[in-house]
Amino acid sequence: MTPDATTTATTRAREVCFLIGRSGAVLWADASDSPSALPDSRTRWQAIWDHRDDLAEIAHSHPHGPAAFSREDETTMAALDSALGRVLRYSVVAPRAMIVRDAGRTFTIDDDHQPWWAGVLRLASGMRKEP
């Protein structure tokens, strides 16, 4: 069997979410069964609340792209910031890029400066970083 664009040898493409602590540690993770959606989850909202004091960043994958925040991402980020009473950092990791929203500014992080967990997120999402 030859892997297609949505598979690797072991993992089918899916969106994955990481909650990242102030130290850069992954505090919690979950995944969907879809490469293009991460359905709302009471368990995820509870994990965000439980880790709210140490939570610094919420990252998720777009295994098939784009390297951009979706409209749903935008509304979810606004709701999270409102609920927590502070602005978090948000990231989308895609096959060829990683984008970040921090303090209202959106930018791309080049390969040499991506956090250690970006590669793990790509692997868990079933994507390979394309050349």
CATH (domain of 89): 3.40.140
Q: What's the N-to-C CA distance of the chain in angstroms? A: 23
Summarize the confidence of residues 8-24 as an average pLDDT: 85
d(CA 60, CA 38) in angstroms, rounded, equals 9
Domain count, the chain: 1
Q: Label residue 11 by pLDDT band (50, 70, 90).
A: low
Does the pLDDT of residue 129 top 80, yes or no? no
Q: Tell me whether residue 3 is in a domain.
A: no
Mean pLDDT, residues 92-104 taken together? 94
| 3-state SS assignment for residue 50 | helix
Q: Residue 128: pLDDT above 80?
A: no
- The pLDDT of 18-39, averaged and rounded, is 95
- The phi and psi torsions of 77 (rounded to 5 degrees) equal -60, -45
pLDDT in tens, 37-50: 999 899 999 999 99
pTM for the predicted model, two decimal places? 0.88
| Whether residue 3 has pLDDT greater than 60 | no
110 in any annotated domain: yes
CB 117 within 8 Å of CB 26: yes
| Domain-located, residue 85 | yes
pLDDT band per the 50, 70, 90 thresholds, residue 17: very high
Report yes or no on 6 lying in a domain. Answer: no
Q: What is the DSSP letter of 12?
A: B
Residue 31 included in any domain: yes
Range of the domain at 65: 16-124
